[in-house]
Structure 1
Amino acid sequence: MPNFLDLFAGAGGLSEGFLRAGYKAIAHVEMDVAACYTLKTRMAYHWLEAHNQLDIYTQYLTRNISRNQFYEYIPQDILDSVLNYEISTETLPAIFEKVDALIGEESLDLIIGGPPCQAYSLAGRSRSETRMIGDQRNYLYRHYAEFLRRYHPRYFVFENVMGLLSAKDEDGTLHFDNMRALFKECGYSTEFRPLNASNFGVLQNRKRIILIGVRGEHRGFYPEIPEVHPNCLVNEIFCDLPTIPAGGGVVEPVPTKHYKGQYLYESGIKNYDTEPVTFHQARPHIAQDLEIYRIVVDTWNRFGTRVSYPDLPENLRTHQNTKSFLDRFKVVAGNLPYAQTIVAHIARDGHYFIHPDITQNRSLTPREAARIQTFPDNYYFESKKGVPSRTLAYKQIGNAVPVCLAYHIAMALINRFDEVN
């Protein structure tokens, strides 16, 4: 099966999809320390699964052994395949040295990943006084190109936000055009599609640019990715999880309720009926926010309409800005076929991700957000020091590529490798 290198890997949503499709991970490169531990733990999970030793993983999740003790069961080369580096001109030599050692005598088939999207996103540009012009994150694709030059993979998959298509450099040229021209200089033909995760088994409206490059001169090579539309609504994601109030729940594994549906199995989220979940822990909310949540959910449930911020009772409005961001409180509508886009801002507050069950009256837990992103229930989100962090879990989940989207891209591409010399 093809092997791959994952750049700007985050918590591994893109990688997990390719692993599920049968690809082999050579290495992951990621700058965030907590996300690197998440990747190490996930690679450890896959190694233990392959060797029928998942009882060790269970011991770790239930806190019977520490993270250090857990890692002692894992071959060092598995853990060392996760490289904690910020990709820059200064760090490239060290990264190349480590990747070279991990590849050994093999050749690299594929590079996947996309640089952080803040500089390209429409929201990021709207908040920036300079509209992100000149921001160094705009040019991380140049480092990506250095990996193409060094390893000459047969394909690469580059993921980013829709705003990439319109983001401009200081001279007025489009970053996307400059990027594709550079990839062509590296010897690659490129084609792209705007894909919405909701068309590929994800109960979430999440549009992304998926650019695929192939070594050499080719046209019309973009693989056909069959669409998958589950016959269910968003409530399916929540139906078997324990009912908890704001501030309730725990990070440690808790069993799920009996599940009679199909989606959670078909998407790879669940392995078996009452499989335990971690990070089903809700953040606490102040009384004022809880009252707003009740109004927002009740209005949606009764009338199917959203509540605009100026329409809230005056005593509940604390922001002076009533001209923009009027949908700052938003329920995740359980009676629709997809939810709104999960973003990293969920780590700051849950106002845009209110649970549809008014009796629970809270925002989503990390596990619920992870399910919307189609992470498996056995996926564990790490912190820097081994102490569980709900905030860091939210951040990693919000920044991730949905696993099911990645899987369908991977499956569509897997039979094309023999076509490239």
Structure 2
Amino acid sequence: MNYTENTDTILPAEDYQSKINYSLKKNICSDNFKVLSLFSGCGGMDLGLRGDFTFRDKYYPKNPFSTILANDIDPAATFTYESNEKYFGDHQIIQADIREVPHKTIPDFDFMIAGFPCQPFSNAGLRKGINDERGNLFEECEKILKEKEQSEKKPIGFIFENVRGIMSSKMPDGTSIPEEIVKRTKKLGYNTVFKLVKASNYGVPSARYRVIIIGLKKEYKKFDFDLLDKVVEEFDIPNENNNKYDLMLGSILSDIKKDTPQSKDFWKYSPSGQYMVDKIGPCYGNKKTLNLFKSKTPIEELPEKIHKGRSWKNMDREDMSERFRKIHDNPKKYRSPNFYRRFSLTEINGTITASAQPEACGITHPLENRRYTIREIARIQSFPDDFIFPYKTIANAYKVIGNAVPPILGWVISRAISKHLKENE
């Protein structure tokens, strides 16, 4: 699937207004909370807030939230968003730098959601934090919230999401970025709280850590993150502490149908990457082993070897490059990193990064010497099988999935917030 890349992101104000008017007309009869989605990516959080989707055999009901306008600067992400009309056909996404969108054209909203760019705060990045130009983009969210405080219909709250590296990124005075956001939004009348969450505790088949920051107007009291656990319990959502089996990699890979969209599309490794993967070798198992998960064979009845993952440490020393031999011979000095990780069928997969490089994340299939297919990583991120990822280059598809908020995590957050609002009306 191809698209034409639009690099001219700065549009006249009237063009923005026409897109916004279209969205408002589509949403005119909605009694749901109206959501402004910034830095939307391909729509993982938007889908979670919306609900009304099925992941494998479990249905996640509609939530009382409707996105009225979305925005992202990345053409690959916006094309994916626009291509999923089943879920997002009732509103528009504007491809633009949010700093170039006239604030006067932004409609009133009840909630703002924003996953402002995480690169400055990422553990894998340069960690320039707030001093990086992209790190200042959360201030654009602050400006919009501040301006909407002057409107007749003031916002109720916001949800921000970021990588856990933001916890240790500092302002010049030493305040962490989340603490700074709490302080600034308090001045706007919000009770703001934040928490580092692990997605696999909330129904996502990935041990992915993210910082969630939730602010609500003071009349609604502070949000209680314990509500996320109550939602998981109420809806019997698989998690690490209860029914972990359904989150295991073997379960996730076992029942992908051959005709599922993009189930065969995968990004080939470079010759050097393929060499490493071939020399590491596959984890224990085969198609018959996957069928054991499909038939829900109890974990205690599975072969013992099935629990062992692999990495570069499973290579023969003579097959290693000089760099890896140095690490192999002095593991304490290099802290024994787990490069080229291959998760076993009974493990929950680790974070899929936007770069999808085998050295940096567990992107290699446990049984086949290749990257996961687009559909496989979409499942690891908890996207429904009918959510598609069209691309100009296949690397773009991996990038937008890796950057996304897992929809099921978004759904649990949405359901918990709506419970909190009902209890504090």
Give the TM-score of the pair, scaled to structure 1: 0.72
Aligned to 2:59: none
Q: Is this contact kept in 2: 1:13–1:401, CA < 8 A?
A: yes
1:309–1:326 Cα contact (<8 Å) kept: no
In 1: Cα distance, 2:397 partner to 2:342 partner: 21
**Contact kept? 2:357, 2:363, Cα under 8 Å:** no
Match of 2:209, as an amino acid? K
Q: Distance in 2 between matches of 1:310 and 1:237?
A: 25
* Cα distance change, pair 279–197 in 1 and its aligned pair in 2 (3 A): same
Structure 1 residues 256-291: Cα deviation after superposition (integer angstroms, max 9, x where no partner): 15xxxxxxxxxxxxxxxxx62226312234565445
Q: Which residue of 1 aligns with 2:365?
A: 355
**CA drift at 1:300:** 6.6
SS at match of 2:179: helix
Q: Do residues 326 (structure 1) and 337 (structure 2) align?
A: yes
Equivalent position of 1:412 in the other structure? 416
SS at structure 2 position matched to 1:139: helix
The reply on whether 1:187 has 2:198 as its aligned counterpart is no
- Tell me: CA distance 1:193–1:132, structure 2 relative to 1, closer, same or farther (3 Å): closer
Q: Is the Cα contact below 8 Å between 1:192 and 1:222 reproduced in 2?
A: no
CA change 1:133–1:403 in 2 (3 A) is: closer
1:72 maps to what in 2? none
Looking at structure 1, the residues matched to 360 and 134 of structure 2 have their Cα atoms a distance apart, in angstroms, of 27
Rounded Cα–Cα distance in structure 2 between residues aligned with 1:172 and 1:363: 41
Change over 3 Å in CA distance of 1:325–1:5 after alignment to 2 = farther
Output the amino acid matched with 1:112.
Answer: I
After superposition, the Cα gap between the structure-2 partners of 1:172 and 1:355, relative to the gap in structure 1 and judged at 3 Å, is same
SS at match of 1:83: strand
| Structure 2 counterpart of 1:293 | 277
Name the count of aligned residue pairs. 338
Work out whether residues 39 and 71 of structure 2, in 8 Å CA contact, stay in contact via their aligned partners in 1: yes
1:403 to 401, 407, 425: 407
Gaps in structure 1 of 5+ consecutive residues:
49-77, 101-106, 242-255, 258-274
Partner residue in 1 for 2:356: 346
Distance 1:291 1:138, change over 3 A: closer
SS of residue matched to 1:344:
coil
Question: How far, CA to CA, are the matches of 2:173 and 2:284 in structure 1?
Answer: 46
Task: Say if 2:78 and 2:95, in contact at 8 Å, map to a contact too.
Answer: yes
Give the secondary-structure state (helix, strand or coil) at the position aligned to 2:120: coil
Question: How do 1:163-312 and structure 2 match up within 5 A?
Answer: 163-216=165-218, 219-222=221-224, 224-225=227-228, 226=230, 227=232, 228=237, 229=239, 230=243, 231-232=245-246, 233-241=248-256, 256-257=257-258, 276-278=260-262, 280-285=264-269, 289-298=273-282, 302=305, 304=308, 306-308=310-312, 312=316
Secondary structure of 2:82's aligned partner: helix
Which of 50, 53, 57 in structure 2 is aligned with 1:19? 50
Percent of paired sites with the same residue: 27
Q: 2:121 — aligned with what?
A: 120
Q: Structure 1 residues 219 and 393 mapped into 2: Cα distance closer, same or farther (>3 Å)?
A: same
| Matched AA of 1:114 | G
Q: Aligned with 2:365: secondary structure?
A: coil
The aligned counterpart of 2:5 is none
Q: Within 5 Å, give how 1:371-382 maps onto structure 2.
A: 371-382=379-390
Q: Is the 8 A contact 1:14 1:406 kept in 2?
A: yes
Amino acid at match of 1:45: K
Using the alignment, how far apart are the partners of 1:189 and 1:39 within structure 2?
31
CA shift, 1:124, in A, is 1.5
Q: Does 1:364 align with 2:361?
A: no
**How far apart in 1 are the matches of 2:403 and 2:249?**
20
What is the SS of the residue equivalent to 1:281?
coil
By how many angstroms is 1:120 displaced? 1.3
Q: Distance in 2 between matches of 1:150 and 1:222?
A: 27
Please say if 1:145 is aligned against 2:142.
yes
Coordinate RMSD, CA, aligned: 2.8
3-state DSSP class of the match of 2:413?
helix
Normalising by structure 2, report the TM-score.
0.71
